[in-house]
Amino acid sequence: MSERTRTGTGTAPAKPVGDLGRRLTARRIQVGLSRREAAARAGMATSYLGYLENHPGATPSTGALLRLAEALETTVTDLSGGTVNQADQADQAAQSALPAGTGRAGRSPEFTELRPGECRALLASHGVGRIAVPTSSGPVIVPVNYSVVDEAIVFRTARGATPALGDGRQVGFEVDHIDEAFSQGWSVLARGTARVVTDPQEQRRLTQRAYSAPWAGGSRNLWVRIRPFTVSGRRITV
C-alpha cells in the first residue's frame, strides 16, 4: 500500500487532532482485531498500542501512524482526525471538557468481577491512583503518583501531607480506567496497611525501582508502602 493511499491525500500525514486513542480503538474494534493482533500487524509492541489508545495526548511518529493506518485498513487522515471540520472539532472539544462518566450507558452492558491476578496486573499498569485515609474528621481521598514494586504500592509524599497520615492505618487504594467512547471501563480496589519506609537502603532501592514520581513537585521524600491484604476489581464491557 502506497503512502498516498494510506494518507488519503498524498501529502504529509496530519498531526493528530483530539482523541487519537478513541479513533484507534473504534477502528480496531470495527475491523475485528484484538489489540495484540493490531499491534502485530503494525509491527509495534502491544503495550505501545495500548499507550496510544489510553492516552489522549499521545503523539506517535509519522511512521507509526502510517503502519497503524495500514494495519487497520484506513487512512492516516482519518486516524489523525484530519477529516474533521471546524464544527466537529468544536463539538469534540466540548465533549472532551465534560467530566468522565456523563455519557449514556452502553447497549447490553456486562458487569464482571476481576480475578486477583487481573487486578494486580491492572494495578501495576497505572501511575496515578487514589488513596483513602482515615482521619479524625472522617475519611479523606486524594490522588497520588505511585508505582508497584514487589507487589506493593509505593509512593512519595511530604511529612504532614494527607497521604502520610495513613502511616500505621488501614487504607484503601483505587485505580480505574473509563472509556467514555464506549461507555465501559474497569476499577481495582486494594486494601492494606500503609507504612512509612524508614530504612535508608530500602528508600534508595525504591527510588531506583519506582517508575512514577510526584507531579506536585517540591520536597516529597517520604516513602510510603502499602502491602495489600486484599484486591478486588470489576469491569463493565458492552
- Give yes or no: residues 128 and 156 share one domain: yes
- Give yes or no: residues 135 and 17 share one domain: no
| pLDDT of residue 165 exceeding 50 | yes
- Give yes or no: residues 88 and 146 share one domain: no
- Give yes or no: residues 75 and 151 share one domain: no
Instruction: Give me the pLDDT at residue 54, please.
Output: 86
How many alpha carbons fall within 13 Å on the CB side of residue 205? 10
Within 72-158, residue ranges assigned H as helices are 76-80, 86-97, 116-124
Last residue of one domain, picked from the residues 97, 119, 137: 97
Q: Which of 162, 97, 90, 177 has its CA nearest to residue 132?
A: 162
Does residue 159 fall inside a structural domain?
Answer: yes
Structural domain harbouring 62? 3-97
The single residue listed with the C-alpha cell 487532532 is 17
| pLDDT of residue 1 exceeding 70 | no
Does residue 82 fall inside a structural domain?
Answer: yes
**Residue 22's pLDDT band (cuts 50, 70, 90):** confident
Instruction: Find the CATH number of the domain harbouring 179.
Output: 2.30.110.10
Instruction: Find the CATH number of the domain harbouring 72.
Output: 1.10.260.40
- Give yes or no: residues 72 and 26 share one domain: yes
- Give yes or no: residues 141 and 29 share one domain: no
Structural domain count of the chain: 2
**Residue 136's pLDDT band (cuts 50, 70, 90):** confident
pLDDT digits (tens, 9 = 90+) for 152-162: 999 999 999 99
Range 37-55 average pLDDT: 89
Supply the DSSP symbol for 78: H
Does residue 104 fall inside a structural domain?
Answer: no
- Which amino acid is it at 165? L
- Give yes or no: residues 123 and 83 share one domain: no
Does residue 30 fall inside a structural domain?
Answer: yes
- Identify the residue with better confidence: 43 or 59: 43
- Give yes or no: residues 116 and 232 share one domain: yes
Does residue 102 fall inside a structural domain?
Answer: no
Does residue 105 fall inside a structural domain?
Answer: no
- Give yes or no: residues 151 and 122 share one domain: yes
- Residue 187 burial (C-beta neighbours within 10 Å; 0-12, 13-18, 19+): middle
CA angle 215/216/221 to nearest 5° reads 95
Residues 57 and 94: their CA atoms lie apart, in Å, by 16
Does residue 57 fall inside a structural domain?
Answer: yes
Instruction: Give me the pLDDT at residue 106, please.
Output: 67
Are 125 and 108 in contact, with CB atoms under 8 Å apart? no
pLDDT digits (tens, 9 = 90+) for 106-133: 677 889 999 999 999 999 888 899 999 9
Q: Give the torsion through C-alpha atoms of 45, 68, 80, 94, to 10 deg.
A: -50
Q: What is the pTM of this model?
A: 0.60
The neighbour count for residue 83, using CB atoms within 10 Å, is: 14
Range 36-58 average pLDDT: 87
| Cα–Cα distances in angstroms (integers) from residue 10 to residues 57, 62, 156, in the given order | 25, 13, 49
Supply the DSSP symbol for 100: T
Top mean-pLDDT range of 15-29, 48-62, 104-118, 190-204: 190-204
- Give yes or no: residues 24 and 82 share one domain: yes
